[in-house]
């Protein structure tokens, strides 16, 4: 299975994987570094309940891997795997008696993420709340021309806003002062508590990578006027 900050699913049994789109740590070791992927007590209880229904549950770990991106979020695969079959480069942490494994190729993109249960009471499945965002430029060959403002407009239209559209959101250029870019976010991004992370981890990275002369990106959105205001 896979999941992001809104979609839900359950881990697959050994030998089976599925796919779908993509807080504090729970019972993680206190005398070592924080796990790449923390798990909340509620998610831990749910995962252990599922694992304990498998043959030889003590031999299984929960392995998580990023499989791609859907809009502004990563997609993930979660599955129970034999601990003995792990790649030595995978990241392994033991939390509450559960071995939680992040695939070696997904470690940096998942660092600081949390496996949790949905906030809606009674909703099944699990969610991954990941502060990291995929770079919308990956896999795209975009040639930008003109001054900074022209380049930002082209980048928003061709790469960034198509990614934000999956959440009903968009970003607009407000203006440019020297090498500072001012943006506003609208639609589903206005008032969304995750929009700051989207701007920081996705949009800023993409703009600075594609337009190296830009030194700062400032969000001037009035988030109190959005559908889900989070400023007080």
Domains and CATH numbers, the chain: 20-129 (2.60.300.12), 148-225 (3.30.300.130)
Q: How far apart are CA 174 and CA 166, in angstroms?
A: 22
How far is residue 116 CA from its own chain's centroid?
13
Does the pLDDT value for residue 19 go beyond 50? no
Note the pLDDT of residue 162: 80
pLDDT (0 to 100) of residue 3: 44
**What is the pLDDT at residue 35?**
93
Find, among 141, 132, 220, the residue nearest to 181 by Cα.
220
Confirm whether pTM is higher than 0.75: no
Question: In angstroms, rounded to a whole number, what is the distance separating the alpha carbons of residues 17 and 71?
Answer: 22
What pLDDT score does 211 carry? 92
Q: For tokens 């790469």, name the residue.
A: 159
The region, left, alpha or beta by phi > 0 then psi within -120 to 50, assigned to residue 169 is: beta
Q: Which residue has the higher pLDDT, 214 or 201?
A: 214
Comparing 152 with 201, which gets the higher pLDDT?
Answer: 152
3-class SS of residue 40: coil
- Please give the residue that has the higher pLDDT: either 231 or 186: 186
Residue pLDDT, tens place only, 148-180: 999 999 988 888 888 777 667 788 999 999 999
CB neighbours of 215 closer than 8 A, spacing ≥ 6? Answer: 179, 180
**Residue 184 reports pLDDT greater than 90:** no
Mean pLDDT of the chain: 77
User: Each residue of 84-137: pLDDT tens digit?
Assistant: 989 999 999 999 999 999 999 999 989 999 999 988 877 778 999 888 877 665
């Amino acid at each position: 299975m896979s999941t992001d900050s809104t979609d839900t699913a359950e881990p697959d049994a050994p030998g089976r994987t599925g796919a779908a789109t993509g807080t504090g740590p729970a019972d993680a070791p206190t005398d070592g570094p924080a796990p790449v992927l923390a798990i909340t007590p509620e998610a831990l209880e749910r995962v252990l309940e599922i694992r304990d229904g498998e043959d030889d549950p003590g031999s299984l770990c929960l392995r998580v891997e990023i499989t791609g991106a859907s809009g502004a979020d990563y997609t993930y695969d979660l599955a129970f795997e034999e601990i003995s079959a792990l790649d030595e480069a995978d990241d392994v942490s033991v939390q509450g008696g559960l071995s939680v494994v992040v695939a070696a190729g997904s470690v940096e993109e998942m660092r600081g993420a949390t496996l949790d249960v949905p906030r809606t009471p009674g909703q099944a499945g699990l969610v991954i709340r990941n502060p990291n965002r995929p770079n919308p430029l990956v896999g795209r060959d975009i040639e930008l021309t003109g001054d900074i403002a022209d380049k930002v407009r082209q980048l928003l239209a061709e790469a960034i806003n198509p990614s934000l559209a999956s959440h009903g959101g968009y970003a607009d250029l407000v203006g440019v002062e020297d090498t500072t870019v001012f943006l506003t976010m609208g639609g589903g991004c206005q008032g969304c508590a995750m929009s700051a992370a989207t701007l920081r981890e996705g949009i800023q990275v993409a703009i600075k990578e594609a337009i190296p002369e830009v030194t700062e990106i400032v969000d001037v959105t009035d988030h109190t006027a959005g559908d889900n205001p989070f400023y007080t």
